[in-house]
Chain A
Amino acid sequence: MVTKLEKVDVVVVGTGWAGGVVSAELAKAGYKVVALERGKNQTRDDYIGVKDELRYTNRYEMMQNLSSETITSRNNLDEVALPVRTRKEMMAGNDLGGGSVHWAGASYRWKPYDFEIRSKTIERYGKAKIPEGMTIQDWGITYDEMEKYYDRWEKTAGISGEPDPLGPDRSSDYPNPPMKESPPIKLFKEGAKKLGLHPFQVPAGNLSQGYTNPDGEVMNACMYCAFCTQYGCDFGAKSDPLVTVLPTAQKTGNFEARVGSYVRRVLYKNGKATGVLYVNTLTGEEFEQPADVVVLAAFTFTNNRLLLLSGIGKPYDPKTRKGVIGRNYNGQFGITFLGARGYFEDKKFNYYAGAGALGGAVGDYAGDNFDHTNVDFINGGGIEMRQYGKGAIASNHVPSGTPGWGADYKKKSLHYTYRSLVVWYTSANMAWWHNYVDLDPTYKDDYGDPLLRITFKYTDQDRNIAKFGIEKSREILEAMGADIIDEDQVPEEFDHVYDGGHYAGGVIMGTDPSTSAVNNYLQMWDAENIFVVGAANFPQFAGHHPTETVGALAYRAAEGIEKYLKEGGPLVARKEVSTHV
């Protein structure tokens, strides 16, 4: 028995940055908005007094309960995918505010190059620079067009930062000054300068001072308590949807967030969505929520899975290399974020203190900021040294060659607790014809629906850029005066660990309906009243953290949805061009 509810203007699936921004903007414009969240309600009160490393960092309190649903994973097309069963290996944010509550806060704008990577690579290096099978493409939107949305999101979130000296043009400064410069950050910046690089403070969603955003939401200054990444903030000092866009939406009286609502299908008839079907996870009751516009703003995995389960859009088939849903799965995981760890004998840092995005960065090896003529990869990444602040369980690093347990290990791990720092390269996985998502033929969720299956393997591009990043990280640690430097090793193959949250693609944006699922307003080519918002839109990843680009895209989508609600029809004309796959 499905209970049919009263129709609303917009139903939004997911309540993270993507769903939160869209909900706030449309509710402010006077539209009735219902947001569906599969997890439970959560507020700042849930984080007061619970700074507990075991519970949050080691037992994944804020992550999706996988008992009903996870993903399956394999490297190659001819393999049987197996489920990723534990929360240690599969961390997707859950509950009101989504993964945007436990995030660290690193907020980078992506570069003009990133949005037009294919054209700009061909223009500077020629077509042969792009290897056969690498399916990178332009986004169908430029940085100049994105700038105002970046600017808007930074102001909503109260980002604290200073401009990257090598970064793109900005229409205004960050709304708040950068965070404090701790001794490890100072050391990193000095080391980078010795090498002629251009360091700056990581732009942070952890606030450097008290701030009121344009919607009137108030945030506090960060206390550097270190319970940040994988935690909610007890002080309202980390910018997240719970302290910004969700209360903004709530205040209008036009918005309702319905928790415990697990969406199973987008209902679709005659080329348009009519609403969504969802289950109340506590009672098992089924509901139909009709709406004029359906917005999928869940995590990358859920956005892809819901379209595939609902039969909307043509699924990507790697054998023919045709179809769009599931195409260009990409991200920033596994072989990315490699670098080196330096041990400093005569230093002892106050590393029990920190914040999610507290750190130093350099952009000299990001994007196309350096000449790629003589390197065997394209794209690049930021280099970072972060002071997350660490709990006692997490800070047991010892130099390689030390036994991993026993008397010597204990002694060395105590000695080095506050004496090591990591420098890493935030490169990204590009898009390839063989990396994609579809539905698993075997494994199912509690309702009998197939799990999402991920097929992903590394390429020489990934391994080459990783080696480059490790080398650059090492050089900086040497300049910082580290006594011992342990380099990361480059893995041969992807290990099916999904712990970083930077997973993207599958519902990508573009100008050509044969190679993209949504236009540059994130409106589906195949269903004019479905908008899909989030990292699933990235045709490929850039070498910086993704959240700010998701936030900016959400403002772009909100503008498009409002336009659609007023005018109807496709917002961008279809332009079929020959595919370049």
Chain B
Amino acid sequence: MADNPNDLHEHKGMSRRTFMKNTGLVAGGVVGGGLIGGLLTNQLQQKPEVQTATDNGQIQDARVFFSRGQDFDILAAATERIYPKDDSGPGAIELGVPYFIDKQLSTEWGVNAKEYMKGPFAVYTTNTGNHNITKDQNKQGPNAETQVPAPTPRYQTKMTRSEIFVTGLRELDNVAQKEFGASFVKITGEQQDEVLRMFEDGKVELKGIGSKNFFNMLLQTTLEGAYADPVYGGNKNMMGWKMKEYPGPRASYAAQIEVEEFVKLDQQSLRNYQGH
């Protein structure tokens, strides 16, 4: 793992193209359902191309939350549109963002274990909700959270985040079918953007959630997957941090705090920091 950006292209993990090829096959195989589909999936996962890369942590790249491969494929395609591969470096898929989200959805956060989930639940049928926007993530200024027009419904659904994700992803597919006559993973990138924008603008009815809320959650978790410590399954090989020139956790930045010029440091992850 050097800082040379050329290394990104030599990275042995799944490129977007390889990934789409594989998942396309898996999805195709599962159409028949049941045992055969399952066997086919197993066989595909034994392809040497995928398994050789265990030294880069790819042995951890398997679904632990999404039971249906199709849901995961939609997620992968959507995150790649939100955070695409470009000349500055890898996109969401190469960074492992879909696996990051998959893992997050089975944590205490994904099942809302530390949230107040007692009834009665108010159900919003409109799309004015914006409860997942983060002030630090917003595009317009430091306190964008307060820019949401009132009244702002809060998180009031009975559904957990993991349930919201499954519902939302399947609705992405429904809208793709309705608007473009094909599954979300089969339509063009521009068409995928159009579907995502419909959710972002709250134009899709998603009862109890609000399509805008789902979109904001998808956006936020995609960025988290690109930039959280690699221990969570995203930010593969700290490539997200390398693009950002973010050095990672350190004991001290006392030597940098007064320096006028930008000081570029090598990346260090939690694993390095804890001294493993």
Contacts and interface: CB of A to CB of B under 8 A. Distances in A.
A338 B145 CA distance: 11
A352 B142 contact: no
B83 A70 contact: no
Interface in A133-155: none
Contacts of B245: 417-418
Nearest to B274: A49
A65 B112 CA distance: 10
B88 interface: yes
Contacts of B82: 405-406
A67 B84 contact: no
Q: Is the interface of A mostly helix, strand, loop or mixed?
A: loop
Nearest to B139: A404
Given A83-B116, A417-B246, A405 B219 contact: yes
A223 B255 CA distance: 9
A491 interface: yes
Contacts of B138: 404
Contacts, number: 232
Interface in B115-143: 115-118, 120, 122, 131-132, 134, 136-143
A82 B154 contact: yes
Contacts of B240: 392
A368 interface: no
A486 B141 CA distance: 6
Contacts of B259: 183, 350
Given A392-B227, A418-B262, A495 B148 contact: yes
Contacts of B19: none
B142 A422 contact: yes
A82 B200 CA distance: 25
A326 interface: no
Nearest to A73: B154
B154 A52 contact: no
Chain A residues touching B, range: 35 or more
Given A75-B151, A334-B146, A53 B229 contact: yes
A348 B116 contact: no
A174 interface: no
B139 A400 contact: yes
A347 B232 CA distance: 32
B12 to A, nearest CB: 23
Interface string B223-264: 110011101100100001101111101111110111111110
B262 A85 contact: no
Contact of A493 (B131, B151, B270): B151
B228 A53 contact: yes
Contact of A67 (B116, B147, B232, B235): B116
A89 interface: yes
A224 B224 contact: no
B143 A85 contact: no
A224 B134 CA distance: 25
A495 B145 contact: yes
Given A67-B116, A352-B246, A406-B193, A488 B142 contact: yes
A224 B86 contact: no
B260 A183 contact: yes
A353 B256 contact: yes
Contacts of B274: 49
A249 B138 CA distance: 44
B222 to A, nearest CB: 8
B170 interface: no
A352 B253 contact: yes
A182 B156 contact: no
A543 to B, nearest CB: 17
Contacts of A180: 254, 257-258
A339 B208 CA distance: 34
Contact of A495 (B142, B150, B258): B150
B28 to A, nearest CB: 28
Given A180-B257, A183-B260, A391-B246, A443 B118 contact: yes
B219 A404 contact: yes
B32 interface: no
Most A C-beta atoms less than 10 A away, residue of B114, B232, B243, B273: B114
Interface stretch (A165-173, A295-303, A408-416): A408-416
Given A496-B152, A496-B154, A410 B116 contact: no
Nearest to B132: A88
A424 interface: yes
Interface in A375-424: 389-398, 400, 402-407, 409-411, 414, 417-418, 422, 424
Nearest to B150: A493
B250 A225 contact: yes
Interface in B10-59: none
Contacts of A53: 227-229
B113 interface: yes
Contacts of B222: 405
A312 to B, nearest CB: 26
Contacts of B258: 180-183
A54 B232 contact: yes
B146 A495 contact: yes
A528 to B, nearest CB: 36
A520 B155 CA distance: 40
Contacts of A443: 118
A393 B250 CA distance: 16
A519 to B, nearest CB: 35
Given A87-B115, A353-B256, 16 more contacts: A52-B249, A58-B228, A66-B114, A82-B154, A86-B112, A88-B132, A350-B262, A391-B246, A397-B136, A418-B245, A443-B118, A488-B144, A489-B140, A491-B147, A493-B150, A495-B146
Interface of A: 49-54, 58-60, 65-70, 73, 75, 80, 82-89, 180-183, 222-227, 234-235, 334-335, 337-341, 348-350, 352-354, 358, 389-398, 400, 402-407, 409-411, 414, 417-418, 422, 424, 442-444, 486-489, 491-497
Interface of B: 81-84, 86, 88, 109, 112-118, 120, 122, 131-132, 134, 136-156, 193, 196, 200, 219, 222-224, 227-229, 231-232, 235, 240-241, 243-247, 249-254, 256-263, 270, 273-275
25 contacts: A52-B249, A52-B270, A53-B227, A53-B228, A54-B228, A58-B228, A67-B115, A180-B257, A335-B146, A350-B259, A353-B253, A353-B257, A393-B223, A395-B246, A410-B84, A411-B86, A414-B244, A418-B262, A422-B142, A488-B144, A488-B147, A491-B147, A495-B146, A495-B152, A497-B146
Query: Which 10 A-B residue pairings sit nearest by Cβ, starting from the closest?
Result: A493-B150, A353-B253, A51-B249, A223-B252, A392-B227, A54-B228, A348-B262, A392-B246, A70-B116, A394-B136
